[in-house]
Amino acid sequence: MSTKKPTQARRDAFVLSTEIEKPFDLLAHFPYRIAIVSNLLILDRDPLIRYEMDLDARSIRVLLNIGSYSPITAADVAYQSRLDPYSVTRAINDLTKRGLVKPAELSLGRAKPVMLSDEGVVLYRKLVELIEFRTEKLLAGLENDDIERLKVTLAAIEHNAETMLAEHGQVVESKGGSLTREQQEFLRWQQRSIGK
């Protein structure tokens, strides 16, 4: 895997400030760089996917999870995609109105699992094809060993981020602060990830 520093053109365009002492070098900060790449990879930012799908990023992620793991509940989609439950429910409702998602025949108590409709399966297959095309472009030049190491590294960073956000939520609550619905999910996700 290449260990090249950011391009000199980028360094030249974004010179660290001389106005404050020890400015934070964002180009050297690994979590910030991951956030930048993550932002670039949001599916509906890709013009081809946007053209072919006519769905927002949230709905695309929900559609992918339903297609890959159905029958699945909204709570499980939220956990798997790390979207808050309210956003997932809204996306499922939108996808249902579009005729892409339907209730599954399976019952899980109060939970109502969903699955793709026939039309949803067609769109899912098209989306997977586009994602696989993107994957070839994104991973061009990387060796299989590099990709496997990156997967392990990203899994560790995801776990650490989940743990950190849950711990920060506990600190805020201990100080008498309140958490948003999404922030409360961090606590549940972390408990679920460690098997509690």
- Among candidates 68, 66, 73, which has minimal Cα distance to 95? 66
Q: What angle do CA 87, 187, 91 make, to 5 degrees?
A: 10
- On whether the CB atoms of residues 1 and 149 are closer than 8 A, the answer is yes
**pLDDT tens for each residue of 145-180:** 999 999 999 999 988 998 898 899 889 999 999 988
Q: What is the mean pLDDT of residues 60-67?
A: 97
Task: Tell whether pTM > 0.95.
Answer: no
**pLDDT tens for each residue of 112-146:** 899 999 999 999 999 999 999 999 999 999 999 99
